[in-house]
């Protein structure tokens, strides 16, 4: 997968955000996200991102929109919010360097 190859080749921190159309419980997602931090799970449960009524992903509480970061980045305060003209919820999360002890 070209995107994953680019992430692996990058020396600087990376943020991957968007509608990946990969369900978070799917093997393809786990392969893609291997070694990355799921920023939307920073200290909280991450709910479904499909806002389309009756849509199977929503019924399964599945997430198809993601914010993934390389391990040198940490996340805080993830939230979903309504987007009135979209069939997806918006995602917001604070991302930055991890604190050092």
pLDDT digits (tens, 9 = 90+) for 41-66: 887 666 677 666 655 544 556 788 89
Q: What is the pLDDT of residue 52?
A: 65
Q: What is the pLDDT of residue 54?
A: 56
pLDDT-flagged residues of the chain (< 50)? 57-58
pTM of the model: 0.83
Please enumerate in sequence order all residues whose Cβ is within 8 A of that of 69, keeping only pairs 6 or more positions apart, or say none.
Answer: 13, 14, 15, 16, 36, 37, 39, 75, 95
Q: How far apart are CA 56 and CA 62, in angstroms?
A: 8
């Amino acid at each position: 997968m070209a995107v994953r190859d680019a992430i692996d080749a990058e020396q600087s921190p990376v943020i991957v955000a968007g509608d990946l159309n990969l369900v978070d419980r799917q093997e393809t997602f786990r392969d893609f996200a291997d070694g990355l931090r799921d920023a939307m799970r920073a200290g909280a449960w991450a709910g479904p991102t499909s806002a389309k009524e009756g849509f199977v992903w929503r019924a399964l509480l599945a997430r198809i929109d993601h914010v993934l970061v390389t391990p040198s980045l940490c996340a805080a305060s993830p939230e979903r919010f309504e987007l009135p003209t979209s069939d997806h919820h918006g995602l917001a999360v604070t991302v930055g360097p991890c604190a050092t002890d």
